[in-house]
Structure 1
Amino acid sequence: MPAQQSNTGMRARLWTVLPGLLGGMAVTTCIAPFGEFFWGNVVDIWGPQAAILVILLMLRAPSPVIGGAALTMALYLGLFYLWFFTSGRGDVMAWFAYLFSLPGALIGACLALCFTRRATPVVAVVLAAAWVTAGLVVNQTIICSTLIYCLG
């Protein structure tokens, strides 16, 4: 019986992480310019998100926290791309605004790690997504009001 319970637990953990990971990879491959530098661009775009997820793994974050963070960062990447590059504002410097806002995601994920220890998996995913979103919004607001003018 314990083997069956651990197998069920493994599937539950997998389904809390998989949508965020696959979503991040899908968004990255869709927005990376195709050509001879495609894989380099994929690493440059998704690498910082992967680094945050590795840090969460090193901190022994539960899979729902990792999944919520991954899902939020994937959505953020897609929305950031739409906001900056489909409205005529896009240039190379825009990626600095994206890159400099990711420490907020890490801080939000660490806060989620602290506040979701006893939550059910679904609640932990939602809370992690909320904390990471809050970190990204605060960090992006700071970046856009100090270093980079984002509204022009």
Structure 2
Amino acid sequence: MDAPSKTNLELIFSIACIGFGILVACFLSPKDRYFLGNMAIFWLPQAAILLCMWLLGSRPSVISGVALILSLYLAAFGVFTFYNSGPDASMAWLGYLFSLPGAGIGALIGIAIIKLRKIHAAAVAGVVSAICTFVGLAINQAALCNTVLYCGL
């Protein structure tokens, strides 16, 4: 049997990172009649960002980096919301949704850096896209916490 090619490994890792995001969304969603609605609210914004990356022709390693950061952010936000739940805990999820444009902008900047620097190594491209997505999320979240949201930090 032949060893999987580098492109196939990139694709497998990309699918795994996207699957991790779906699993996190499923885990955070209440297991009742609101499961599908909550799961959609948690994961569909991620799917929209990943779809944009795919439509822009990003390679699977770039999508992996973006998907991994989005999944980890959802998990961290879920833990933060769970441990800081108060009467307005359901409204805290608006902070999650409003911070995702920063992730999208960061991912786009990552694509631009990868293309400008002509980065061909899959691991490097994945790391660059992950870092740019994280920085975009962090800047957007900081702006939200300092203006319209009380983050309690």
After TM superposition, the score normalised by the length of structure 2 is 0.89
Q: Name the residue aligned to 2:135.
A: 134
Aligned to 2:32, the other structure's residue is in SS state: coil
Aligned length: 148
**What is the deviation of 1:60?**
1.0
Which of 8, 12, 16 is residue 15 of structure 1 equivalent to? 12
* 1:45-72 C-alpha deviation (Å, 9 max, x unpaired): 1010000001111111111111100000
Superposition deviation, residue 37 in structure 1: 2.0
* Cα distance in 2 for residues equivalent to 1:91 and 1:68: 29
* The one of 65, 69, 72 aligned to 1:68: 65
Alpha-carbon contact 2:11-2:61 (below 8 Å) kept? no
Asked if structure 2 preserves the Cα contact closer than 8 Å seen for 1:105 and 1:135, the reply is yes
Looking at structure 2, the residues matched to 16 and 38 of structure 1 have their Cα atoms a distance apart, in angstroms, of 27
Instruction: Using structure 1 for the length normalisation, give the TM-score.
Output: 0.90
How far apart are 1:126 and its partner, in Å? 0.9
- Residue 95 of structure 2 corresponds to which residue in structure 1? 97
Matched, 1:30 2:23: no
Aligned counterparts of 1:27 and 1:82: Cα–Cα separation in 2: 11
Residue by residue over 1:63-84, the C-alpha shift from the partner in whole angstroms, topping out at 9 and shown as x without a partner, is 1111100000000000011112
The gaps in structure 2 that reach 5 residues or longer are none
Percentage of matched positions with identical amino acids = 34
Q: Which residue is equivalent to 1:87?
A: 84
Higher mean C-alpha displacement, 49-58 vs 117-126: 117-126
> 1:18 & 1:122 partners in 2: Cα distance?
15
Task: In structure 1, list runs of 5 or more residues that go unmatched.
Answer: none
Asked if the contact 1:84–1:94 (Cα under 8 Å) also holds between the matched residues in 2, the reply is: yes
Q: Distance in 1 between matches of 2:12 and 2:98?
A: 29
Cross-structure match for 2:125: 124
RMSD of Structure 2 on Structure 1 (CA): 1.8
